[in-house]
Amino acid sequence: MSNRPDKFGPAAAVAGVLFAVVALVAGCTIDRGAGSGSAPDEPIASITMTPDDDAADVSPTAPVSVTVENGTINQIALTNANGKQVKGEVSPDKRSYRTTEPLGYDSSYTWTGTAIGTDGKPVPIDGTFSTLAPKATLPATLNIGDGQEVGIAAPIIVQFKGSVQNKAAVEKALTVTTDPPTEGAWAWFPDDNGGSRLHWRPKEYWTPGTTVHVGAMLYGLDLGNGAYGDSDITSDFTIGPAQIVKADAPSHRMQVVRDGAVVFDFPVSYGEGNEARNVTRSGIHVVTEKYEDFMMSNPPFYENVRERWAVRISNNGEFIHANPASLSAQGAANVTNGCINLSPADAEAYFPTARYGDPVEVTGTRIQLSAADGDLYDWTIDWPTWKSMSALTGKPATTVSATPVPPQPAGGR
């Protein structure tokens, strides 16, 4: 019997067991990685877009943003159909992005970019949406421009080039900021030439030196009947000295009072008053325009007569102007067709001091200024009635003329 170990003996058996264990362990490792069928871990970063992907009829002023959970923004852009990138900003922690300019009407927009999760894996930022398509957009204008100095009776007027139905929404989009603080209110007037308009005025005359900022955030605003605001408009202006024209018809004189002191006291002639159209209206008028030369007409009395130093105080044809033809009556009798007539020298002296918004307080005649005399009769309306003409107090009240006398031709009276 040989002493050499048999390969199938005890030693070989032990070796065989060890080999089997090693083979078993190796076999388990291979099965776990390739043979189990489990998928790789998904990226953990998640993207939220506002508005939602594929959203339609989005307001061009609606918030537009992207936020990332469990990650940060690596790169991002929002572009329109023409490839123009919308301005925007990423938050300091790089977890959100928002646009910083309004979008366009009836346009499509596309997101592109990448976020990186806290697991280091990238996630694409992609999506599209589109903005609403208005049936119409309505431009609006402000009557007072940046840097202008106006009189203490100047109203602020927003004029639309079309009819506004959602009047309350418009008022909520308007702001008037003053220093010092000034009590005032908006009032809607009847549509003018097919367009809606609203006026803001203080309860009392403006305080001289007041600074005023007007903001009308109308772009993207639903004005009703498929119409939307065309653009935002703003204005910054100041209130000038307290210049008031005191025009007492029975006295046949006109005083110009500035900051409480009489600076001019002129002999004048007012409307003859023999018929309604020739009556200078009593009430607070407002200076709106002035012309060194102006061709005036008032059929059947006269046509295309050149007058000098003409200051318009209403849209019914009332002016303060020079009139050599009535010189003999000035200071003694009222003989005009409704205007306030001065001598050429006195009219020239007053003319450069007149500014938009100066009040002209006419007293002593038999007909009051009203809506029949044009679109600027704000100061003839008492304060409770004025506030009732706001759309925010309910349905705006309509102020109508108490005097059925049609406005005269714009050329003069």
- Residue corresponding to tokens 């170990």: 5
Q: Could you give the C-alpha distances from 366 to 57, 68, 285, 308, 401, in angstroms and in order?
A: 57, 73, 16, 28, 15
Beta strands in 180-272 (DSSP E): 184-192, 195-202, 211-216, 222-224, 227-229, 233-239, 243-248, 253-258, 261-267
Is residue 393 classed as helix, strand or coil in its secondary structure? helix
Measuring CA to CA, how many Å separate 301 from each of 81, 281, 344, 413?
63, 19, 21, 9
Give which of 76, 70, 68 is closest to 119, Cα–Cα: 70
321 catalytic? Reply is: yes
Q: Compute the half-sphere exposure of residue 138: CA atoms within 13 Å on the CB side of its CA.
A: 26
Nearest Cα neighbor of 230 from 138, 325, 348 is 138
E strands, 19-155, in order = 46-50, 55-58, 65-69, 71-80, 88-90, 96-99, 108-117, 122-124, 127-131, 136-138, 140-142, 149-150
Phi/psi-derived region of residue 394, left when phi > 0, alpha when psi is between -120 and 50, beta in every other case: left
Question: Do residues 276 and 367 make contact, with C-beta atoms less than 8 angstroms apart?
Answer: yes
Closest Cα to residue 46, out of 146, 103, 121? Answer: 121
Dig out the tokens for 10 from the structure.
């005890």
Distance, in Å, from the CA atom of 339 to the CA atom of 56, rounded to the nearest integer, reads 58
Beta carbons of 271 and 336 less than 8 angstroms apart:
yes
Closest CA to 377 of 165, 159, 187: 187
Determine contact, residues 53/129, Cβ cutoff 8 Å. Answer: yes
- Region of residue 87 (phi > 0: left; psi between -120 and 50: alpha; otherwise: beta): beta
Catalytic residues: 321, 339
